[in-house]
Chains A and B, each alone.
Chain A
């Protein structure tokens, strides 16, 4: 029971998030990108980190969410941002449920390939329907209504977008936190650790996995919808392999199966990428690559895992019971 009690330092990321808003008003566009990536990584963590569903195609749900918001706004059918995100979550959740019914019969490499295929099929479908989706060129200048009918999105200084995105991921994070510490979340960890034993004790493994995959897809859909709203733009890249691969790296970098891995990974990865690219527009990938190699060699459990190891070795020793 002690694990899920709120600890004082859990407020830190949110204080940092607010501090960023006041300290760096020129960086809020980047900040929005960061928040979207955190939410997307969090959704992947639920599937990959907690339930052990290995997927390389999580961008499928991100893309479905982004296109739900984007197409509804582009054709002036639905431009309200909060309900837009709920719709994105619903559509992505349905796609996640339907594909999960089929895909989760497989495991390992087969599952990896099939998730990739699902995303590629959606990509091609969106390309073939370019008359409606805008294809590679995308849907330009999406009209998004003001939040609560008052706060307009600002194209130059992304201040409203940033606070809105921060609010959205706070709500999503609280949901995920409750979920993973619930008995349902505990059973997911059990499935990841030893699926045979979970079968043996009578746990409905497949049903649990499908529910988890659906929730994860819906959250990815919210991240995609948020991306469409904050950038006022969607194109085929939201369904591309690039984003799915990046979010996987982000999660592994931060540490998967830990609530705050998504936060640490996204901040480190995106900050490195952003500031190295400002200094060396053509050679920034080298610096990022070196950091990733070092992490892979010396910190198998990501940055949070590394911190934990160091804490256990050098931190204050607990008194013997």
Chain B
């Protein structure tokens, strides 16, 4: 072995050691995110959509996340009884010592967890739960999803202004989001000259009811519009099909609703019956903005051409983006909940759903709402056409401070 070779080997060895030292020095700070979602029980179909969005964000934005490393610790919140989610939050904070909590599909889970989040003094990013007053329950809650008041209030206004409806009937699933949708629609519609002539509670959230008797009653009342809220899922398909089967459109009633009745992942399965439906929502997969084009294309590339992201995926995407922002704004000290929340107050972000902002006073999302109509495209598939855009829509329940959003005495 020549002296030269030995020198080369020695030099290579020294470089390897130096490089090793360098990597360990620049080693990513590990940030633990506790994710509380119902992986079993009635909400189990939504959680994988949110997981996919979170994975996709980390994959596509690896450069923006650096030098930090996000570790997601998942916990099952099981049936929506609040207790399981609360124990999850306690154990994530005390055993896993997470820096941030996130998730919450069901409102009761977020409501029950509120005292724990407050006591744990960690940022809690609500990625789906939609009951309006939740953000009042803990100063560490920030919401990146929606409230039913945002979409339903705009729908109520536009039913009167855009559709020139005079009378409406509301059919809603008999649980808090349904009641929120009813109250918001009714408030806005009646303040714009309309009249809600009937409000029909149509079953609970867990099983899909037969909508025929409810809709037959609506048909006999001849309203201009029928406003429906049901949870996005199988109930939505049943609503659209029953409405078409009863020939209510020909009888002069327009079906309108929140975007929950035409979820993106189920739209193609609804077929001809969905064409012409008018809804208001903050997201649809056909939105024409560069962020959404890139988001949907990356989604289809990662999860198959037949898989379509929906609004729950976007809530999770925006939530993880918010965590990433807070992480950089606090220079890695995201475990200081008060500082993390402060860094998100007034935070602006170009989301796939358009520009969003966190309201500095309520820590709730401010976003665009879109008046959409279902149309059949030249490719033979169903698409959402945006008829009008409403900018910077706030949660009207807290803005008007009515009902459960009124400040406590």
Residues on A lying within 8 angstroms of B by beta carbon are 25-27, 29-30, 33, 127, 130, 135-138, 140-141, 154-158, 227, 231-233, 235, 237-238, 240, 242-243, 277-278, 281-282, 284-285
Contacts and interface: CB of A to CB of B under 8 A. Distances in A.
Interface stretch (B52-60, B75-83, B328-336, B385-393): B75-83
A141 B75 contact: no
Nearest to A156: B119
Nearest to A285: B40
Q: Which of B74, B87, B118, B120 is most buried by chain A, counting CB atoms within 10 A of its CB?
A: B87
B75 A157 contact: no
Interface residues of B, number: 39
A243 B108 CA distance: 16
Contacts of A33: 83, 87
Contacts of A278: 75
Nearest to B36: A281
A205 B384 CA distance: 67
Given A231-B86, A282-B47, 14 more contacts: A29-B90, A30-B87, A33-B83, A127-B174, A135-B176, A136-B108, A138-B111, A155-B115, A156-B90, A156-B116, A158-B90, A232-B115, A233-B86, A237-B108
Given A26-B94, A156-B90, A156-B93, A282 B39 contact: yes
Tell me the dominant secondary structure on chain A's binding face.
Answer: helix
Q: Which of B74, B86, B120, B204 is most buried by chain A, counting CB atoms within 10 A of its CB?
A: B86
Given A135-B176, A140-B114, A233-B86, A155 B91 contact: no
Which 4 residue pairs are nearest across A and B when measured between Cβ atoms?
A237-B81, A233-B112, A282-B39, A156-B119
Interface in B175-215: 175-176, 179, 204-205
A157 B93 CA distance: 10
Interface string B110-127: 011011101110000000
Nearest to A27: B91
B82 A277 contact: no
A140 B93 CA distance: 20
Contacts of A233: 82-83, 86, 108, 111-112
Q: Which of A136, A138, A278 is most buried by chain B, counting CB atoms within 10 A of its CB?
A: A136
A155 B118 contact: yes
A281 B90 contact: no
A171 B175 CA distance: 38
B107 interface: yes
Contacts of A26: 91, 94-95
A135 B179 CA distance: 11
28 contacts: A27-B95, A29-B87, A136-B175, A137-B107, A137-B111, A137-B131, A138-B82, A138-B112, A140-B112, A140-B114, A140-B137, A156-B94, A227-B83, A232-B112, A233-B82, A233-B108, A235-B111, A237-B82, A237-B83, A237-B108, A242-B79, A277-B40, A277-B78, A281-B39, A281-B74, A281-B75, A282-B44, A282-B76
A281 B76 contact: yes
B136 to A, nearest CB: 9
A165 B195 CA distance: 52
Interface in B36-80: 37, 39-40, 44, 47, 74-76, 78-80
B79 A240 contact: yes
A178 to B, nearest CB: 31
Contacts of A130: 176, 179
A238 B81 CA distance: 7
Q: Which of B37, B115, B119, B179 is most buried by chain A, counting CB atoms within 10 A of its CB?
A: B115
Contacts of B120: 156
Nearest to B51: A282
A130 B111 CA distance: 15
Nearest to A233: B112
A155 B114 CA distance: 10
A231 B39 CA distance: 21
A179 to B, nearest CB: 29
Interface string B15-51: 0000000000000000000000101100010010000
